[in-house]
Amino acid sequence: MNGEEMETKNKAKRVKQPEVVTRSEWLVARKDLLSREKEFIRQRDALSAARRALPRVKIEKEYVFDGPDGKETLADLFDGRSQLVVYHFMLGPGWEEGCKACSYLADHFDGANRHLPHRDVTLVGVSRAPLAEIEAYQKRMGWKFKWVSSNASDFNLDYHVSFTKEEQANNKVSYNYATSEFMSEELPGLSVFYKNDDGDLFHTYSTYARGLDALVGTYQFLDLVPKGRDENPDSTMDWVRRHDEYEAA
């Protein structure tokens, strides 16, 4: 047994295990938890309604992206629908591969894309890497969702997922609605846009960091099982690998 395996075993011994009870005792505890789950769902529904009710910012700037169909504007990315979700994927110019955490999230996109168009929603990935580098990594991962390059525009800078040389030099960047120290030339996020009947575009929502958790269906399953996410609290996603890098489970 190596050191890592020993530490994992010792950690399991230190975690207090739930008590073992009769079925009737379990049912009492389960019903108590159910009442809390229902309250959480009501709170989540209220939060979602508040999110939808946020004021909107009209987009006056024109952004142009490089995509599989050539040059496309932000309006083009809607693909005939009124709602657009953009995932800001961490893949910068010259990177050998995409961020493993973003890749973890993106593994869930193709499944969602079987349904989103039927609710008037288009989902697109955007990165600063040139299109050829995006397409090479997308081919490796086997993904089908649309993914375009913002390399020739200020899109990533304006939505605070990429940073200027000056910001990096000053070690101060704006991310997740706060000023923080520079961490990386690219960071993850998600932005939502709306197009009205007149063709006007609006920014309605953006979220970053832990706000992206809701996109990860795998986490929703892990939250249901006894060991939960079972992550290192100091580096929560250090276990994550690109799906072609895992050893056999």
pTM: 0.90
85: tokens are 């979700």
pLDDT of 16 reads 82
Beta bridge partners of 174: 179
pLDDT of 98 reads 97
- Residue 186 per-residue DSSP state: B
Whole-angstrom Cα Rg for the chain: 21
pLDDT of 2 reads 55
pLDDT of 3 reads 55
Beta bridge partners of 72: 65
Are 187 and 90 contacting, i.e. CB atoms less than 8 angstroms apart? yes
73 sits in which H/E element: strand 70-73
pLDDT of 248 reads 83
pLDDT of 113 reads 97
Are 122 and 81 contacting, i.e. CB atoms less than 8 angstroms apart? yes
pLDDT of 171 reads 94
List of the chain residues with pLDDT < 70: 1-14
- CATH number for region 57-215: 3.40.30.10
Question: Residue ranges of the domains in the chain?
Answer: 25-54, 57-215
pLDDT of 43 reads 98
pLDDT of 6 reads 55
92: tokens are 């910068």
The CA distance from 194 to 198, in Å, is 11
